[in-house]
Amino acid sequence: MSTSTNPVVQAVLSGKAPAGARMAAARGLLPLAQNELLEVLVALASDADADIAGAAGATLAEQEPAALLDAASSNEAAASVLSYLASRAGTPREVQEALALNPRTPDEAVTALARATREGAVLEVISINQQRLIRAGGLIEAIIENPARTAEAERRARETQREFFEKERGAQQIADEMRARGMSAAAEFVEAAVSFDEQGGVSLDDAWVIAQHIEVGDDEIDDSWLPSERIEEWLDETYEQRAANFERIVNETHAEIGEVAPERLSLIRRIMFMKVKDRIKLGMKGDREARSILIRDSNKVVSTAVIHNPRITDQEVEAISAMRAVSDEVLRLIALNRAWARSYPIIHNLARNPRTPIMSAMNILPRLHTKDLKALSQNRNVSENVRRQAYRLSSTREGH
């Protein structure tokens, strides 16, 4: 996605600019800021017009090292520019290090850089960022397999690999150990799980970490709510879908609380790479931390499972009712629950949440205080129907 609001840049990137303007841009003749110029040149280097693509490539080759370093360090550089610099042959070490340190550099670009660089110092810089090592698939292997790696870069990569990824124990062995420690609910979960195998995307060592977040036994859960129709369709999920789900939840968590601790990031990754069946079970049986992750799951059956967890608290439901990223089905079920519907903070959150289904919000409005109805009638985040009804109710109460 472009970081520029310049209409000239937007026209070139969208392909709407005429060939003459694109050629002028490819030759560096347009009055653009350096970041905008690089973004345009990177885009035009793959233009369908071979002459334009060649001109853009030539102009890119003429860019001064200092300009490339500024771009690699910039908080405003487009992801396409950072990816280009990471893949560019002969990029100076200082630029490579800046790319590795820049949080805007895409993970796949850093992984490509880790494979291609011949600078051991760059691999050390990459290995320092444990969050990226955990998050970016293939990055650890890229460091370890690069002949230019230093001992320090390899040590950090292998330590992260051992701590978060390696498979060391079988599921049954882990379950037996858990029972010996009195963790019967966790043992049940591990024995029944389908994710902890070679093809599941989750290592057997992950079973131990995840199972420690189990607090509800099989005898405590009611799964009669699970939909019988289309269940196989909901359970069918690709590795890429799990990866996208994981990335979205990490981004949402980061937006809410800032930097995500490596331990939390690792737990999110472990959980979100489980198969859907196991995530549903974990939603119903997991502790507060597991619930806070799975309530954001893009699979509605999984997020709904959290609402059916017998240990979920009113405080958690109150927080969920205000969430903008949660499934509308979850919000509908909260509104239908008689116990939760008696909580004024919960119904107030639901009424203000644009994700709440309109009918659910409409049914809540008569229970709101007049001052809250008046505020809601002016809230542009909710639907026009909800605003109008809030206005009618508040006006009626005030005798207008």
64 domain residue, yes or no:
yes
The terminus-to-terminus CA distance of the chain in angstroms comes to 49
Nearest to 88 by CA among 56, 112, 111, 106: 112
Q: Are residues 67 and 145 in the same domain?
A: yes
Q: Are residues 35 and 75 in the same domain?
A: yes
2 domain residue, yes or no:
no
Q: Are residues 13 and 52 in the same domain?
A: yes
Q: Are residues 157 and 11 in the same domain?
A: yes
Residue identified by tokens 């771009």 is: 71
Please tell me the predicted confidence (pLDDT) of residue 166: 57
247 domain residue, yes or no:
yes
92 domain residue, yes or no:
yes
Residue that finishes a domain, picked among 308, 334, 357: 308
In three-state secondary structure terms, 214 is strand
Nearest to 316 by CA among 328, 301, 303, 329: 303
As beta bridge partners, residue 286 has 214
Residue by residue, DSSP assigns 190-201 as HHH-SSSSTTSS
145 domain residue, yes or no:
yes
Q: Are residues 280 and 320 in the same domain?
A: no
Q: Are residues 128 and 174 in the same domain?
A: no
Q: Are residues 150 and 181 in the same domain?
A: no
Q: Are residues 187 and 230 in the same domain?
A: yes
Contact of 332 with 357, CB cutoff 8 Å: yes
Q: What is the pLDDT along the chain (400 residues), one digit of tens a residue?
A: 566 778 888 888 888 889 999 999 899 998 888 888 998 999 999 999 999 999 999 999 999 999 999 999 999 899 999 999 999 988 999 999 999 999 999 999 999 999 999 999 999 999 999 989 988 878 999 999 999 999 999 999 988 887 776 544 567 788 888 899 899 999 999 888 888 764 455 777 788 889 889 999 999 998 888 876 656 556 678 888 888 999 999 988 888 778 888 888 989 999 999 989 899 999 999 999 999 999 999 999 999 999 999 999 999 999 999 998 899 999 999 999 999 999 999 999 999 999 999 999 999 999 999 999 999 999 999 999 999 999 999 999 887 6
Please tell me the predicted confidence (pLDDT) of residue 3: 61
What span, in angstroms and rounded, lies between the C-alpha atoms of 91 and 79?
17
Nearest to 231 by CA among 188, 293, 298, 276: 276
| Torsion sign (Cα): 294, 298, 299, 301 | positive
Q: Which tokens sit at 40?
A: 């345009």
Q: Are residues 281 and 293 in the same domain?
A: yes
Q: The domain containing residue 298 runs over which residues?
A: 167-308
CA dist 17 → 20, 168, 308 (Å): 8, 57, 54
381 domain residue, yes or no:
yes
Please tell me the predicted confidence (pLDDT) of residue 338: 92
Q: Which tokens sit at 90?
A: 């002969």
1 domain residue, yes or no:
no
Q: Which tokens sit at 148?
A: 């230019």
Residue that finishes a domain, picked among 279, 308, 337: 308
What span, in angstroms and rounded, lies between the C-alpha atoms of 318 and 167?
38
Q: Are residues 320 and 253 in the same domain?
A: no
Q: Are residues 155 and 117 in the same domain?
A: yes
Q: Are residues 152 and 226 in the same domain?
A: no
Please tell me the predicted confidence (pLDDT) of residue 258: 81
Q: Which tokens sit at 369?
A: 């205080």
Q: Per the structure, how many domains does the chain have?
A: 3
What span, in angstroms and rounded, lies between the C-alpha atoms of 334 and 325?
15
Kindly provide the b/e burial profile for residues 284-320, where b requires at least 16 CB atoms within 10 angstroms of the residue's own CB.
bbbeeebbbbbbbbbbebbbbbbbbbeebeeebbbbb
Please tell me the predicted confidence (pLDDT) of residue 198: 47
Residue that finishes a domain, picked among 264, 286, 308: 308
Backbone dihedral region for residue 189 (phi beyond 0: left; psi -120 to 50: alpha; all else: beta): alpha
211 domain residue, yes or no:
yes
Please tell me the predicted confidence (pLDDT) of residue 233: 57
pTM given for the model: 0.60
